[in-house]
Amino acid sequence: MNKAFKFRIYPNSEQEVLIGKTFGCVRFIYNKMLGDKIEYYKRTNQKLKNTPAQYKAEFEWLREVDSLALANAQMNLQTAYNNFFRKPKTGFPKFKSKRNNNKSYTTNFVNGNIKLENGCIVLPKLKAVKIKQHRAIPKEYKLKAVTVSQTATGKYFASILYEYEVTIETVQPKTFLGLDFSMKALFLSSDGISAEYPRYYRQLLEQLKREQKKLSLCQKGSKNRNKQRIKVAKIHEKVTNQRKDFLHKQSKQIADAVDAVCIEELDMKVMSQALNFGKSVMDNGFGMFVSMLNYKLMEQGKHLVKIDKWFPSSKKCSVCGIVKKTLLLSERTYHCEDCGMTMDRDYNASINIKTEGIRLLLG
């Protein structure tokens, strides 16, 4: 299995310059190779096989940065390019913008070129960079690659990928939990417990509006605009960190408590567009929560059961099983006209999701 550890790094001024140059070279080689592929395909109707090495003679400054970073850019482009032809729904690769404030490059572990020692991480071309290592790495883990990134606020991080061998015994499920998506609370469980998501984005929305208005009045390219951009980015970063912390804690708590979790398979992007509730749907990060829950359950040999999105979890009565023909989105309380049962709409749906999940998992 693979596992990544993300640590903050503190490069000196020379290292910052070289990291910035590597970001630029990776972006350049990606765009250059993509442009050549497009031009070649238009002329010959065939795919072009190009590599970073063939551009180094013309652009000698490409030799100044880590060659493995350029090779990974090539691999990323090739994957995106092939996916466009193999998978109909996949879009065509886009050129990388210089104005993107979130930058990164990936380098691979080859012949001991990457090391963690004496509070530093040794990287190709950069040598020793100070690192804030907040947890120990098990000795049996094998280092595979490192992704160096810079956030919009100017912070640098190193995401270190390790490979390790582990035998996971599948747990025979005895305890089950159904979760129904909630725009306000993240989810409502079949136990009647709500996540009570604090809605961090909404809390800072007024402050964000003020800072964004100031940013819009700044002259483009000025130092004041860049300072204001960082202020806006810090607010977004705070919301992101708060959200991730909350989701990690919730998913860990659930993964430790039950053997199987049942959820509906939802497309959050489509929901936010179709229902016109973009901020409410995307704010709580339900899709991210499901991903976290999935790998936490998998590490323990437990189960995540996904129910088909067309399953009538909200329209079905959890007591008698009668399915309503229509149920408006504004109706937050479910009332069954057949058996007389009345309960919260989301609670009723979570019970149905749990029942269907048990049926799918146990047969």
259 assigned to active site: no
Sheet strand arrangement including 303-307: 186-189, 176-182, 260-264, 303-307
The CA-to-CA distance between both ends of the chain, in Å, stands at 29
116, containing H or E segment: strand 115-117
28: closest CA among 50, 59, 57, 2? 59
Bridge partners (DSSP) listed for residue 108: 145
| Catalytic member of 66, 259, 283, 346 | 346
Choose, from 180, 211, 259, 283, the residue flagged as catalytic.
180
Query: Please, is 341 exposed, middle or buried when counting C-beta atoms within 10 Å of its C-beta (0-12, 13-18, 19+)?
Result: middle
Q: Which parts of 45-104 fold into alpha helices (H)?
A: 67-86
From CA 112, how far away is CA 165, in angstroms rounded? Answer: 20
283 tagged catalytic: no
Active site residue 36: no
**Which listed residue (66, 211, 259, 264) is catalytic?**
264
With contact defined as beta carbons under 8 Å apart, do 205 and 212 qualify? no
Pairing of strands 103-108, 115-117: unpaired
- On the 0-12 / 13-18 / 19+ scale of CB atoms within 10 A, 347 is buried
Known catalytic residues are: 180, 264, 346
